[in-house]
Chain A
Amino acid sequence: KAGVTQTPRYLIKTRGQQVTLSCSPISGHRSVSWYQQTPGQGLQFLFEYFSETQRNKGNFPGRFSGRQFSNSRSEMNVSTLELGDSALYLCASSSGGRLLEQYFGPGTRLTVT
């Protein structure tokens, strides 16, 4: 079974631009969660989508948004990029139950210059 895939793996953007990251969950998984990992703040939960609906949301500004498609693939968007948005963005999928294991992708490394 293929794992969680994230594209692109690396991205360089300029401050003020916007960016879209993509996550394809494991086949059959309906829940996708997004996390931001930085050296200063560590791993922080962004949001979770289940069956195309946002189910949980972390404490991030409105510049961070996401969506999920009918095939469970998910995208996250960051508008008006700031230098502090440079991070590794991790996506995790699970089959949807609240007690089941999350499987993480390799992440997208975003650098904002």
Chain B
Amino acid sequence: AQSVTQLDSQVPVFEEAPVELRCNYSSSVSVYLFWYVQYPNQGLQLLLKYLSGSTLVKGINGFEAEFNKSQTSFHLRKPSVHISDTAEYFCAVSERRTGANNLFFGTGTRLTVIP
């Protein structure tokens, strides 16, 4: 079974400051890793994914994440946030066996960018 822990439920940050949203996972099998963003009253949008290869993954809107197998972490970072980044961010995993269409999500981190 898999589990995903997002350590911070809320993260306030000033505009143009850097941000890191933390994600740790637990799984007895190999997994794929994802970050999704949810804006108010909308569905989820994929920011980035780690399937294999380079552990540093770049996504949309200037976000990037680094897969650390030894620490079972997949933290999301952005060097300079914008007001429009205010949203809820979800880390997710899926088993390599079942594939990417069966996602286990963390509880989410609400990022609030302060002007």
Contact = CB atoms under 8 A, between A and B. Distances in A.
Is chain A's interface secondary structure helix, strand, loop, or mixed overall? strand
Which interface residue of B32, B42, B44, B45 has the most chain A CB atoms within 10 A? B44
* Interface size of B as a range: 20 to 34
Contacts of A102: 46, 100-101, 103
Is chain B's interface secondary structure helix, strand, loop, or mixed overall? loop
A94 B108 CA distance: 23
Contacts, number: 59
Interface in A56-88: 56, 58
Contacts of B41: 106
B105 interface: yes
Contacts of B105: 35, 42-44
Interface in B33-61: 36, 41-46, 49, 51
Contacts of A105: 43
Nearest to B106: A42
Given A31-B101, A48-B101, A56-B98, A42 B43 contact: no
Interface string A19-49: 0000000000001010100000011110010
Contacts of B25: none
Interface residues of A, number: 24
Contact of B101 (A4, A42, A94, A107): A94
Interface in A86-103: 90, 92, 94, 98-102
B106 A33 contact: no
Nearest to A88: B43
Given A42-B108, A43-B90, A48 B43 contact: no
Nearest to A100: B100
B102 interface: yes
B51 A99 contact: yes
B104 interface: yes
16 contacts: A4-B43, A31-B101, A33-B101, A42-B107, A43-B90, A45-B102, A55-B101, A56-B102, A58-B102, A90-B43, A90-B44, A98-B99, A99-B51, A101-B46, A104-B36, A106-B43
